[in-house]
Amino acid sequence: MGKILEIKIDNFSKEMTDSVRNENHNGFAFAYNFDIPEPSRLVARRSFTAITASNEQIYRFLYTKFKSGATVVYRLYGMGKSVSTADPILYQRELTAAGWTAVTGGEFATGDIEPRVFFYYKNYVYLFQAVNGTTSAVLSRFGDLTGTPSKTEDAVVTDFSGSDIGVVTNVAQPVHHPADDIAYFFMDNKVHKLNNTAWTANALTLPDNLKIVGAAPYGDFLAILCSPIESGTTESFLYLWDRDSSLTTISAKINLGVGDAYHIGSDDNGVFIAMIRKSIADLGEYNTKLVIKYYRGFLIEKEFSSASAAGYFKDILLNGASANQYLNSIMVGSGFYFPATLSTSKDSVKYDVIFKAKMVNGEVILSANTNYPSIAAGQSLNGIFELTGYFFVSYGSTPLTAYNAISSVFSSAAMESMIYSVGDPSNKKDLIGVTVFTEPLIAGASYTLKYRKNAETSWTTIFTESTDDSVSHSSVNIESTGAILGQFKQIQFRVESEGGANITGFSFKVDILSTKPY
């Protein structure tokens, strides 16, 4: 017998890490569908419920007010597209309704839908059509609470400025800045202003090798995120604009380094940015990383390797699984949420997740807050939206919609632990026993503990526990067969939760065997 050690993990405060062999790290390699309300609890989230669909193909959501007869009401609105023409159609939904209904008069007919923009400002909803780089784009609107809501197509910008929008290739979600009550629109490398009904074209023009991919209020500044038009040709940049100066006198230009920027959001203290940093295609894909940055006068950064043979993750996509899918990010309190499609490097399981980034004690923390499991291969999440703690999602190449409000069902959730070598990866260890700790199991709840050793790519089930009110379960063998747990040099565990089993920790005991020849 060698040295006996017991390892206990009951603190998940650091959440996900790319350093999966750092045994002193409070966290895990990967988890989904768990909230972490405090460091010692993984709490299962409610599951998503599909919203009854009738070919709406909705990409994006808004919750705002419109006139219904003589009454102003708040409703959820969706931007869909015509099955036959791909033109935009507005849909509405009462929060207690089963499905969507088309908005009277909310059918547009002058150009293909542009899924990246769906924006509310001063009694109007704004959207783009024909953003394709070949024909004049269309900025359209619907609304006006002073009378019967109606749509205006084609001529919206002409009404404001007397000129066409022109050919546009890239657009980003507009921003209503609270400091001046002005809406800012983004087309290619240009910023335009809408002050109530007064339109100012080209209020700011940025370098033409960049495209604006998003913006967010940052104090009195507008933080504008730019990515290279051609991936790998230049760095991405964050511009801080006082909403008045020109490019030559802009307040700040922050170099974000090589990589493609996708998402931006801001809290009271700083700006979140999500990027993919990758090598030029001809040099291989071994340097690809998901990069989360936070700017608050200086940059704080967290990286996750995401390419074959380079790290725990691979194939992380932030821009959808196909060309016609567009993702958006949202801020919920101090949390920065954005969708992604990924798999881990040891298996081929596809996860469609909503990542959550936040700042904790000066460090960027990341977790996969939600996994939506019903999306086919080659497809992904599209738009995401949050309302009073509930998420609405659009998913698939012909988008369907779902939400996790009023669900009495808990999601299947999982946590994949750090990879443990228990000090010295060259020594063999006997796995003596394992334990999982939980909150008292509610009726119908269960959890399963699995493990994989050394170079294994598949998980072996050790046990499943489903006893009502149970707070822990221990095993010294594979319970289904009675087989011993066996030896390992490095080991990883996976805890799977069903029916609302909330995990508070796990432990394992080993006998360390000296196997060195010296």
The number of CA neighbours under 13 Å toward the Cβ of 67 is 14
> What is the mean pLDDT of the segment spanning 388-404?
87
Separation in Å, CA 150 to CA 65, 106, 147, 196, 374: 14, 7, 9, 17, 36
Backbone angles phi, psi at 439, to 5 degrees: -70, 160
- Within 10 angstroms of residue 244's Cβ, the number of other Cβ atoms is 11
Residue 284 has pLDDT above 60, yes or no: no
What's the pLDDT band for 308 if we cut at 50, 70, 90? low
Please name the residues in contact with 24: beta carbons below 8 A apart, sequence gap of 6 or more.
none
Task: Tell me the C-alpha to C-alpha distance, in Å, between residue 11 and each of 15, 45, 56, 87, 506.
Answer: 9, 19, 44, 50, 10
Largest Cα–Cα distance in the chain? 88
* Alpha-helical runs (H) found in 87-165: 156-161
| 444-481 core/surface letters (b: 16 or more CB in 10 A; e: else) | ebbbbbbbbbeeeeebeebbebbeeebeebeeebbeee
Residues 212, 262 contacting (CB under 8 angstroms): no
The pLDDT value recorded for residue 25 is 74
Q: What average pLDDT score do residues 47-54 get? A: 87
Average of per-residue pLDDT across 382-406:
86
Answer for the pair 128, 171: CB distance below 8 angstroms, yes or no. yes
Mean pLDDT rounded to a whole number for the chain: 88
In which residue are the tokens 């009502």 written?
468
98 contacts: CB under 8 Å, gap ≥ 6: 51, 52
DSSP state of 283: G
Question: What is the reported pTM?
Answer: 0.92
For residue 291, the model assigns a pLDDT of: 93
pLDDT over threshold 80, residue 162: no
Residue type at 83 in one-letter notation: V
Closest CA to 294 of 362, 226, 353: 362
